[in-house]
Amino acid sequence: MLMTGSFVAPLLLLSLIPHQEPRFLIPVTLPLIFLHAQEVHDFDTAQAILYHTLPSIKWTSKTKPFKVKKEKRPGSLRTAWVVINTFFLVFFGFLHQGGVYPLADHLQTDLYNQHHPNVIHLVTSHTYPVPQYLLFQQKANFRLDHSTGTVSRYIAKKKFFLTEMGSRPMGSVTTILDDILTSCSLWKPKEYVRCTVYLALPSSLLDEFSSELPSNMTYKIEKSFYPHLSTEAIPEFYSTWHTSLHSCQSKSSMVTGGLKTDEHCDTPKEPDYSPSAIFRRVSRVFKQLSLSLVRVQKTK
């Protein structure tokens, strides 16, 4: 009862909190395994003899060991356990928020290979924040004075800034981006450094972001990271499959003020089931399973 209460009570309390994540359930795995692992393991076989009903046997050198018959039960709880755990292994281990670490690796490479002083501002929307320890940013440097032989420590200027927007509306995201771009334009002539502003968001929200983009801002998709699925922005696969067969935005195209400049944005009146049309639909659905890194700029 103590082990049962140790995971039932926290589970009920966590269910009352509006913001819930699967990782909050990790502590309850210990009492669950302790209580029910043996039941899952022995579900296929029923014990034929209980320990307290075994007759007392006087063991001698001539006593032969006896075999306990096991009764096979229909169905298999172990099979269901393996299938369910395999599914969640793929989902939480590779698909769910799977683009965050490749994004961090890309940003770290970008910061390391700078040939010109550059400051990066990253805004994240509807995804986990990027672990900044993966960027290997030094907080302090050391300088050797050759005349005296002493080593002095000085604070290094920060090169990476992270702004987490969580699940806020796209209107708030574009407002924050506009403020960051404005501040960059003010101090850029004084510091003589470049200022790069990125937005990381699920690819399923690109159309919504484009529609909320002000007329004085443009964006370009720098890179997409696969696979990535955010439960905060689940792709609408059905509507995507039945929308336009032509992509309204290429990877290298610039989009200004939410107005798509692609020439192929016409929706056919009759559904096209040709192999090329099916391929375009599948690729359009597949593109939503990614995390997009978008570079945002202001029009001159």
| Cα angle, residue 99 at apex, residues 193 and 93 outer, rounded to 5° | 145
pLDDT, one tens digit per residue, over 219-231 is 999 999 999 998 8
Residue 53 in any domain: the answer is: no
Residue 150 in any domain: the answer is: no
* Dist CA 186 CA 181 (whole Å): 9
Give the domain extent around 283: 100-133+159-298
Residue 200 pLDDT: 96
Backbone angles phi, psi at 265, to 5 degrees: -125, 20
Residue 68 pLDDT: 52
Host H or E run for residue 267: none
**Is residue 290 over pLDDT 80?**
yes
The number of distinct structural domains making up the chain is 1
Report which of 230, 209, 235 is spatially closest to residue 288, judged by C-alpha positions: 235
Least confident of 29-43, 138-152, 170-184, 281-295: 138-152
What tokens were used for 24? 């909050």
Residue 49 pLDDT: 42
**Is residue 280 over pLDDT 90?**
no
Q: Over pLDDT 90: what percentage of the chain? A: 25
Residue 173 in any domain: the answer is: yes
Residue 101 pLDDT: 93
Amino acid identity of 287?
K
Residue 146 in any domain: the answer is: no
Host H or E run for residue 70: none
Residue 210 in any domain: the answer is: yes
User: Looking at residues 42-62, what average pLDDT do you find?
Assistant: 52
100: number of Cβ within 10 Å? 21
* Dist CA 219 CA 207 (whole Å): 12
pTM higher than the cut 0.85: no
**Is residue 51 over pLDDT 50?**
no
Residue 255 pLDDT: 56
